[in-house]
Amino acid sequence: MLPIMVSICLACIGSAMLTTAVSFYLGKPGIAPDMVQIVLTAYPIGFLIGCLVTRPLVARYGHERTFVLILATALLSAAGFVFTDFVPSWFCFRLLGGMSMASMFVICESWINLYAEQHNRGAMFSIYMLTTAIAVLLGQILVALVGPTSPHLFSVAAAMVLLAFVPKFAGRRWPALPSVPAEPAQTTGADRRLGPLALFRLAPVTVVAIFQGGITNMNVFVLTPIYGTQIGLSAAATVWLVTTISIAGMVAQTPVGWLSDRFDRRLILLVQGLVSVTACAMIAWVGAVSVPLLFVLFFVYGAMALTIYPVAMAFGASQLHSRHMVAASGTLLLLYSIGNVATPGVAAGLMAHIGPPAMFLLLGGGAVLVTLAACYNLLRRPVATPIVQAVEDQV
């Protein structure tokens, strides 16, 4: 798994750098708010497209060739920022970038599902999530080292995506995987009908928490540079604010995962939701008053909000038969993408009309939904095994 992990880490570093660099550029005076909303919405729309197109590509060309094709698309989108500063064209580049990253995530996660065995799948997914977290952190550190306003920032980001090709062409063999089956008719229909309503009946908090993850996990990195600029932080301080969120999510990943294996995951999600709501409310209320307090609150929020996704996925997996995991994963990733698509434009509009705290009113709203769903999941009667089977048979 090392070659694919190294490749996706380098690609994620480049993507994280581009996300911050684009946000900084869009925060400059003279750029129309409507154009900012359009460009910010391009990435999540591309992410949604990537979720839809990757599965047929993998079925036709296989994981490895599809990965190389998608990596080339990511390089093309990153290079576009180097050659032009015509902002309307950036919509296309961000669209391709979002599509590329979603496709890489789908390929990597399905690769793990096929390659891993039951006893080590959780460990491999932990390594995968930690790899992406480290990549985002390294991306922010590189932005700080190169300089948030440096004319070379886009070039360095494109170079990181180019380096992602090295493990492929350095002679390192990727793990052999079984060929993608032709999907027999009796399972294809069931898989395709495993929609959000069926999943919500089995695990309501998982569906809501994955949607909240779409609202939070990527968009907090997109919106924080704009938030920092609007409250008067320097470019360097804003970069370290984004880095603080990355560090919080990375540091909290292991202890939260350890706790979720030993306590009821619904209780863990309830606590995460409550703490995230509290942190959002405090940032919106007093965040601009004290910079040290702002960093502490960002750390608390990142540690809670950025670890909701894996806990929710683990709880959802415990409610499903293994034969439905692929279809369920696809549905949940689509929900995640919808949260991505809906957030940037809405948040940018709210921040333009209400002010910087509006960002955390929106993110806090997502945390409120997780809290309510966790309470509902705790208070309702457990779904008995026969009912679970009946729901799965219906889908």
Kindly state the average pLDDT of the residues 163-187: 62
More confident residue, 85 or 283: 283
Q: Are 139 and 21 in contact (CB under 8 A)?
A: no
Return the CATH fold of 191-395. Growth Hormone; Chain: A; (1.20.1250)
Structure tokens given for 250: 């990375």
Please write the tens of the pLDDT for every residue from 28-48.
777 777 788 788 788 878 888
- pTM (whole model) above 0.75: no
In angstroms and rounded to an integer, the radius of gyration of the C-alpha atoms of the chain is 20
Residues 41 and 345 sit within 8 Å (Cβ to Cβ): yes
Per-residue pLDDT reduced to its tens digit, 145-163:
888 778 888 999 999 999 9
Most confident of 95-99, 243-247, 375-379: 95-99
Asked if 19 and 222 count as a contact pair (C-beta separation under 8 A), the reply is yes
In sequence order, which ranges of 232-290 are alpha helices (DSSP H)? 235-260, 265-286
Question: What confidence score (pLDDT) does residue 102 get?
Answer: 85
In eight-state DSSP terms, residue 177 is -
What is the DSSP-derived secondary structure letter of residue 28? S
What are 329-377's pLDDT values in tens digits? 667 777 887 877 777 778 778 888 888 888 888 888 888 999 998 898 8
Instruction: Supply the pLDDT for residue 190.
Output: 41
**Predicted confidence band of residue 231 (pLDDT cuts 50, 70, 90):** confident
Instruction: Say which residue, 128 or 155, is predicted with more confidence.
Output: 155
DSSP string, 191-247: HHT--HHHHHHH-HHHHHHHHHHHHHTTHHHHHHHHHHHHTT--HHHHHHHHHHHHH
Q: Residues 123, 125, 129, 135: what is their CA dihedral angle, to the nearest 10 degrees? A: 90
The one-character DSSP state at 382 is P
List the one residue out of 211, 213, 362 whose CA is nearest residue 281. Answer: 362
pLDDT per residue over 285-343, tens digit each?
A: 887 778 888 889 999 998 998 888 878 877 776 776 555 655 566 677 778 878 777 77
For the chain, domain boundaries: 1-170, 191-395
At 284 the pLDDT is 84
Report the CATH number of the 1-170 domain.
1.20.1250.20
pLDDT (0 to 100) of residue 388:
47
Residue 27 tokens, joined = 């925060």
How high is the pLDDT of residue 10? 92
152 φ/ψ sector (left φ>0, alpha ψ -120 to 50, else beta)? alpha
pLDDT at res. 270: 93
**Same-fold call for 1-170 versus 191-395:** yes
DSSP state of 380: S
What is the pLDDT averaged over residues 113-133?
68
First to last CA, the chain: 33
Assign 160 to helix, strand or coil. Answer: helix
pLDDT of the residue at 121: 57
Q: Does residue 263 register a pLDDT over 70?
A: yes
E-strand stretches of the chain: none
